[in-house]
Structure 1
Amino acid sequence: MGVGVLLGCLVLAGCKPGGQDAKAKDQESKVEEAVPVEAVAVSTRAIAASYTGTAPLEARGESQVVAKTSGVALQVMAEVGQQVRAGQVLVRLDSARAALQAAQSEAQLRKLEASYNRSRQLFAQQLLSANDIDQLRFDLENARAVNRLANLELSYANVVAPISGIIAERSIKTGNFVQINTPIFRIVDTSRLEATLNVPERELATLKPGLPVQLMVDALPGRPFLGRVDRVAPVVDSGSGTFRVICAFDGGGLLQPGMFGRIKIDYDQRANALVIPRNALLDDENDPAVFAVRGGKAARVTVKLGYYDGEWVEVRSGLKAGDRVVTAGKIALREGAKVQVIGDAAAKPVAAAKPAGDKS
């Protein structure tokens, strides 16, 4: 019996140090590790409120050149890509028939003018009735109208440019027979380009003529172009709930009609706005919030936002200048979690409590 008790005591004595080691390891596992994150300080900068949209560029002026009379094209004097001015002759048509008709009407007009002048003398001598002199005057006026019409038809033999611009299309060659009202050229005025945005009605009070516009086109990446809001159509389309904003840009350079543009209209600015990077926001649009670093721990802070400007967003309340917000590593965080900001001095590890009497 004494031997059994002695063996039991020896077993208990041998197990005691092992039990203390297990307890120490369990305490070590409970020590919270700091989550590595990236953070930036809340700062102030100028920020702009803007509306962005996309639209193709269009030429403000464009015209189809048509022949106002029929005839053979004797001379074509414009090529695709050529700059022309309003009133410049582009095509000369065969005008022989029109010239003969104009000459014939001119001769008839001269004859009636001479007859009317003699009749006036006879009327003054009371040798001609008032009805006869009136008839001659009406015939003379009709002859003048016929002559003007003949000369107008003769002028149509010279096809002229209705607007100034660049020849974009040509569908005629020398020797072709041209039918009346047939399009033979297309002229595009590239001196000014326009882009029309269909804007939601909530922006009706903010977008006004004269506001500055910045344009980026896919064909010329990295090159901004400046323009302005030229006019606003204040009527809201009941079907789409949008209104039209027309932006104007100087042409004649790299910008061309048909280019697809990304447009930004700045309608307000604040010089010293409190801002944070947009990537600091948590993914909750209904309750915007960030993780702030306070006392080495993550604190979820609800913020009220203002203007968005590129990668920056304005903070109206919830933070102050100098506060640090987490920009990377947010997914692994929870309220009150310990954080280690990358770039700061490394946090000192928390040593596990040693068992009593352990001197190692």
Structure 2
Amino acid sequence: MKVKYIVYTLLFAGVGALVFYRISENKKQKMDAAGGGGKDGKKPPMAVNGVVVAPQEFANTLSLSGSIEANEQIEVHSEVSGIAEKIFFTEGAKVSKGQVLVKINDIELRAQAGQAKTRQTLAAENERRARLLLQKEAISQEEYDIASADYKTALAQTQLINAQIGKTSIRAPFSGTIGLRNISPGTYVTPTTLITNLVNSSQIKITFSVPEKYASQMKVNSVITFTVSGSNETFQAKVYALEPSVEVTTRTLKVRAIAENAQGKLLPGTFANVILPLDEVKDAFVIPTEAIVPVQGGKKVFVVRNGQAQEATVETGTRTDKDIVVLSGLKAGDTVLTTGVLTLKKETPVKVSLTKKAK
């Protein structure tokens, strides 16, 4: 019996010791959660990364899509209807300004011109005689005015027909490269018939649109760079014209630049990736984009002061893939936290590891 009582006594003692241990541990954990796990009852500092802010020059670029156009480009049409008698160009060849491309049959027009010339000669003689008679007061002023009007009408008719004859020779309005022809000798052409295309691409134009927030930075004669698909070469162009207003629907400003294309590497109609340099900002504060915390009504960052994280409301400007310009809210020498910013709270103790110094 004594052995039995001894076993029960030891068992109850063991259970009581276990309960006491668990109660003590729970109290200790509650105290740690409430007062921190340090020896002095304070929470250990949170390990974070940060950068030291310093003023620097900031030069940003803007990547835009543009369209390459020929310096000059037209569709070649005839101004008069008729049979295409001769074609004087070769497809894909270079032509000079004023060169005859197509000759339209003008036999009927020349016949009309001869007829009109005869009428003009007769009207001129009648006008001369009427003038002499008027000087002798043999006819009235009205009769002379009729003869003079007949002469002027005949002269205008002759000039009109000669102008139409001139239009039967279709000439290149500028030097360039002729395209593929859409007619053959003997084709009856009208003003709506497309004969071919004429393109001058010794220089090319790049047209692109700039968001309105950067419109004030666009200047004539500024230099841009661009690339095209299928080539690793970088080309340069100079801005020569701006639209006078921003498009309301897209809120963009249309800009046009021109580039040399003597070697013909750039084809009109293709797309260009335009790299547009923006204004340089001196003494700018540049920080990593991950340091910015969006809040209602603005943005904030966490800076370190006396070993604690403090909130600072900032105003930002231009943003790149990795960095953002801070316009206000920071000063030189501030340490801006870049990690843990979404979990940080005001006056949280922090231990900062500087990753890089913002230049």
Structure-1-length-normalised TM-score? 0.67
Query: The residue matched to 1:105 in structure 2 has which SS?
Result: helix
Q: How many angstroms apart in 2 are the aligned matches of 1:45 and 1:135?
A: 86
Q: How many angstroms apart in 1 are the aligned matches of 2:117 and 2:86?
A: 27
The residue aligned with 1:98 is 109
Query: The residue matched to 1:288 in structure 2 has which SS?
Result: strand
Q: How many angstroms apart in 1 are the aligned matches of 2:217 and 2:227?
A: 22
**Paired residues of 1:293 and 1:324 also in contact (CA < 8 A):** yes
The aligned runs of 1:227-242 (5 Å cut-off) are 227-228=238-239, 230-234=241-245, 237=248, 240=249, 242=251
Q: How many angstroms apart in 2 are the aligned matches of 1:37 and 1:223?
A: 42
**Paired residues of 2:130 and 2:139 also in contact (CA < 8 A):** no
Q: How many angstroms apart in 1 are the aligned matches of 2:179 and 2:351?
A: 64
**Paired residues of 2:74 and 2:199 also in contact (CA < 8 A):** yes
**Structure 2 counterpart of 1:301, one-letter code:** E
Q: How many angstroms apart in 2 are the aligned matches of 1:36 and 1:78?
A: 78
Q: How many angstroms apart in 2 are the aligned matches of 1:68 and 1:140?
A: 28
Query: The residue matched to 2:133 in structure 1 has which SS?
Result: helix
Deviation at 1:325, TM superposition (A): 3.1
**Structure 2 counterpart of 1:195, one-letter code:** T
1:141 to 143, 152, 166: 152
Deviation at 1:156, TM superposition (A): 1.2
Identity %: 22
Unaligned residue ranges in structure 2 (runs of 5+):
none
**Paired residues of 2:46 and 2:350 also in contact (CA < 8 A):** yes
The aligned runs of 1:335-354 (5 Å cut-off) are 336=348, 338-339=350-351, 341=353
Deviation at 1:116, TM superposition (A): 4.9
**Paired residues of 1:169 and 1:187 also in contact (CA < 8 A):** no
**Structure 2 counterpart of 1:99, one-letter code:** R
Q: How many angstroms apart in 1 are the aligned matches of 2:91 and 2:351?
A: 67
Q: How many angstroms apart in 2 are the aligned matches of 1:69 and 1:154?
A: 9
Q: Deviations over 1:332-353 (max 9, x none)?
A: 6555264463879xxxxxxxxx
Deviation at 1:146, TM superposition (A): 1.9
Deviation at 1:269, TM superposition (A): 3.7
The aligned runs of 1:176-255 (5 Å cut-off) are 176-188=187-199, 190=201, 191-195=203-207, 197=209, 199-200=211-212, 206=216, 210=220, 212=222, 214=224, 216=226, 219=229, 223=234, 225-228=236-239, 230-234=241-245, 237=248, 240=249, 242=251, 245-253=253-261, 254-255=265-266
Query: The residue matched to 2:152 in structure 1 has which SS?
Result: helix
**Structure 2 counterpart of 1:193, one-letter code:** K
Deviation at 1:102, TM superposition (A): 2.3
The residue aligned with 1:73 is 84
The residue aligned with 2:311 is 301
| 1:303–1:73 CA distance, 2 compared to 1 (3 A) | same
Q: Deviations over 1:263-302 (max 9, x none)?
A: 57667542221221223323547432234456676x2532
Aligned residues: 331
Between stretches 304-313 and 329-338, larger displacement belongs to 329-338
**Paired residues of 2:239 and 2:258 also in contact (CA < 8 A):** no
Q: How many angstroms apart in 1 are the aligned matches of 2:81 and 2:94?
A: 26
Deviation at 1:155, TM superposition (A): 0.8
**Paired residues of 2:124 and 2:151 also in contact (CA < 8 A):** yes
**Paired residues of 2:50 and 2:352 also in contact (CA < 8 A):** no
Unaligned residue ranges in structure 1 (runs of 5+):
345-360
Deviation at 1:80, TM superposition (A): 5.5
1:43 to 51, 54, 60: 54
**Paired residues of 2:298 and 2:315 also in contact (CA < 8 A):** no
**Structure 1 counterpart of 2:113, one-letter code:** A
Q: Deviations over 1:77-105 (max 9, x none)?
A: 34565555554322122222223322333
1:279 to 266, 269, 290: 290
Q: Deviations over 1:11-51 (max 9, x none)?
A: 79xx79x969x97x978x94678766554332322235887
